Amino acid sequence: MVTFKDYLEHGWALTPVKSGTKQPFLKDWANADTAIRGTENADKLNGAAGLLLAHCDPPLMTLDVDEFHCAAAWLDERGIDLASLLQADDAVQIVSGRDDRAKLLYRLDQPRCIHRVTQDSKTVLEFRCADRNGGSLQDVLPPSIHPNTGKPYAWLGDWKTPPSIPPDL
């Protein structure tokens, strides 16, 4: 099983989250100078951690699908096949175990601001990396526990080698 120490060995920037939630608990957690780095700091993660997407080198982003069919239709209107992205040989996903949800991890050349796609006041899709103030967004990492399912998040694909974001995205 992957541990938070593995992520730190890989050079990722993390933030501790409250166990069983998605909520970071460090003050100013989105800033680069509060990121947890280095294996000697693994004990600061307290059993649950979020990946600080914009503060990794290279920066990372997640394509966060909250309503699969709506997100697929929105992407299809732009010539992008969500099912193909999910089934790509090099796809890397953080899996929560919830139906109609998906989260793909990609490498970026530089941090990019979040973009939300909403329909009927509901978020159906997010392009997640940085906030508009230069801070990072975070996504909860395996083996943290998902607040709704009570089960650990899991990986599909090789988390150490996320693909570059496809040009169409």
Q: Which residues of 95-109 are buried (b: 16+ CB within 10 A; e: fewer)?
A: bbeeeebbbbbbebe
pLDDT tens digits, 81-101: 999 999 999 999 999 989 999
Instruction: Answer whether residue 8 shows pLDDT above 90.
Output: yes
Q: 148 falls in which pLDDT band (50, 70, 90)?
A: confident
Taking residues 28-54, report their average pLDDT. 93
Category of 134 on φ-ψ map: left (φ > 0), alpha (ψ -120 to 50) or beta? left
Taking residues 14-22, report their average pLDDT. 91
Longest dimension (CA), the chain: 47
Percentage with pLDDT > 70 across the chain: 100
Q: 119 falls in which pLDDT band (50, 70, 90)?
A: very high
